[in-house]
């Protein structure tokens, strides 16, 4: 019978794991002893560390694939793959225990630890609500099923992949609900995929009077082909930039341009690699352009960490982060604004 565990982390890690990006649990502090009691098939329930005065929150769980000690070189390789959240810098000789897992499953209901007054293991006298959890605490099937019962199931995978942090999600949903009631619009008819983030950027750019370009003209959002929105080609770009900048500029996800306003360059990081997106923007650093990363709000800390890399010193103070939630609000409001001024037939606005 597999032994299970309760592990400690923080809400930021939970949000990153829930997005599907993180596949490795990295202990906050190096462990001198192994964790061999956990094996393939063990379930780890993840509890978010509480801030002073706040409650401990049980956020979700994952099933163990493998538990092992890795050296600094292997740890660095895992970090470069983007599957460790906020990785440390280790020397090659350093050792660290990690847990590999396939999928983090977010609970439908986030439990406070003090709610588990009737959940205990088959051998414990005290319920989990009275436990002092430090790093890792082992539980059995009985306790695991008790936690799952109170959590009320799991958030479906598709919802996890596009979900911003819980507090941001609740706030944004309430704001959009009020906006919908005020102006009578429905929810977005498409999910916030990489292609649909590009669609929103292309649509906004055109409505704001820019010419727009995409590196992915054959991709679609719903039944909308991105190339049908773009009105700038590589040849158009070549009129404004030299050959040394044309190639990297043509690889940017979305580009806006208007005479007198210059260039705006956007990289969408939706399930992709933040470092690689910043590299693409850094390759057009000589261009007088405003630069943006669009990603989930729960990857803002990853962006902040990555942009401090010396390789991005040329764009550090020019690049801005936009959350998908904020982009969605801008998209809705831009559409409403454009609709409201349509009767003016302003000649300088895009169609």
SS3 state of residue 200:
helix
Same domain, 118 and 252: no
CA of 124: how far to CAs of 84, 140, 142, 319, in Å? 33, 10, 11, 53
Same domain, 218 and 149: no
Residue 337 lies in a domain: yes
Low-confidence ranges of the chain (pLDDT < 70): 1-2, 28-34, 50-53, 156-192, 341-351
Task: Report yes or no on 306 lying in a domain.
Answer: yes
Q: Which of 7, 8, 10, 21 lies closest to 299, judged by CA?
A: 21
Among residues 225, 290, 297, the alpha carbon closest in space to that of 252 is found at 290
What pLDDT is stored for residue 170 in this prediction?
A: 45
- 71 in a structural domain: yes
Q: How many domains does the chain have?
A: 2
Residues 144 and 227 in one domain: no
Is 255 found in the same domain as 146?
Answer: no
Cα pseudo-dihedral 332, 284, 233, 195, rounded to 10: -40
Under a CB-based contact definition with an 8 Å cutoff, are residues 9 and 49 in contact?
A: yes
Helix (H) / strand (E) containing 108:
strand 95-112
Mark whether 207 and 328 lie in a shared domain.
yes
**Span 297-327, pLDDT tens digits:** 888 999 999 999 999 999 999 999 999 888 9
Query: Are 253 and 150 within one domain?
Result: no
Same-domain check for residues 10 and 156 = yes
pLDDT of residue 259: 86
What is the domain-level CATH number for residue 141? Answer: 3.10.590.10
DSSP state of 252: S
Residue at 184 is within a domain: no
Identify whether residues 156 and 208 lie together within a single domain: no
**Could you tell me if residue 175 is inside a domain?**
no
Q: What is the pLDDT of residue 162?
A: 43
- What's the chain's Rg over C-alpha atoms? 24
Closest residue by Cα to residue 206 from 335, 45, 87:
335
Whether residue 255 is contained in a domain is answered as yes
CA 43 – CA 4 distance, rounded (Å): 5
DSSP code at position 219:
-
Tell which residue, 37, 70, 27, has the closest CA to residue 140.
37
- Final residue of a structural domain among 115, 138, 161: 161
Tell which of 138, 161, 184 closes a domain: 161
Examine the fold and report which residue of 161, 183, 208 is the final residue of a domain before the chain moves on.
Answer: 161
Residue among 176, 156, 172 at smallest CA distance from 164: 172
Residues 200, 196: Cα–Cα separation, whole Å: 6
Say whether 103 sits in a helix, a strand or coil: strand
Q: For residue 169, which phi and psi values (nearest 5 degrees)?
A: -65, -45
198 and 157 fall within a common domain? no
Task: Reduce the DSSP state of residue 91 to 3 states and report it.
Answer: coil
- Considering the domain architecture, whether residues 127 and 253 belong to the same structural domain is answered as no
157 and 200 fall within a common domain: no
- The verdict on residue 89 lying in a domain is yes
The answer on 210 and 340 residing in a single domain is yes
Domain range for residue 75? Answer: 4-161
CATH number at residue 225: 3.40.1560
Residue 181 domain-assigned? no
Closest C-alpha to 20, from 120, 102, 130: 102
Q: What is the rounded CA–CA span in Å between residue 173 and residue 325?
A: 10
Distance between CA atoms of residues 291 and 303, nearest Å: 13
Confirm if 291 and 269 have CB atoms less than 8 A apart: no
Report pLDDT for 43. Answer: 96
């Amino acid at each position: 019978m597999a032994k299970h565990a309760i592990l400690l982390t923080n809400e930021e890690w939970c949000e990153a794991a829930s997005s599907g990006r993180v596949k490795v649990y990295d202990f906050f502090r190096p462990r001198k002893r192994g964790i061999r009691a956990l094996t393939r098939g063990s379930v780890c329930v993840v509890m978010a560390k509480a801030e002073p005065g706040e409650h401990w929150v049980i956020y979700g769980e994952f099933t163990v694939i493998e538990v092992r000690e890795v050296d600094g070189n292997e740890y660095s390789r895992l970090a470069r793959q983007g599957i460790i959240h906020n990785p440390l810098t280790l020397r090659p000789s350093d050792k660290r225990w990690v847990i590999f897992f396939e999928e983090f499953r977010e609970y439908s209901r986030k439990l406070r630890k003090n709610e588990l007054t009737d959940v205990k293991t088959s051998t414990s006298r005290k319920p989990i609500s009275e436990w002092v959890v430090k790093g890792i605490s082992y539980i059995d099937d009985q306790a695991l099923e008790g936690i799952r019962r109170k959590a009320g199931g799991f958030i479906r995978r598709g919802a996890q992949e596009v979900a911003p942090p819980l507090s941001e999600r609740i706030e944004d949903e309430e704001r959009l609900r009020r906006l919908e009631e005020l102006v009578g619009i429905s929810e977005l008819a498409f999910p916030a995929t990489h292609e649909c983030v590009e669609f929103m950027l292309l649509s906004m750019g055109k409505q704001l009077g820019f010419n727009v370009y995409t590196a992915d003209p054959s991709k679609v959002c719903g039944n909308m082909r991105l190339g049908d929105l773009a009105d700038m080609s590589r040849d158009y770009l070549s009129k404004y930039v030299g050959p040394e900048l044309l190639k990297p500029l043509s690889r940017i996800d979305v580009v806006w341009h208007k005479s007198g306003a210059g260039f705006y360059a956007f990289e969408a990081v939706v399930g992709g690699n933040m470092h690689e997106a910043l590299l693409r923007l850094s390759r057009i650093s000589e261009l007088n352009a405003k630069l943006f990363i669009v990603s989930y709000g729960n990857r803002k800390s990853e962006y902040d960490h990555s942009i401090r890399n010396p390789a991005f010193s040329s764009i550090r103070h020019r690049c801005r982060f936009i959350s998908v939630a904020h982009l969605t609000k801008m998209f809705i409001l831009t559409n409403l604004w454009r609709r409201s001024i349509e009767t003016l037939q302003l000649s300088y606005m895009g169609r």
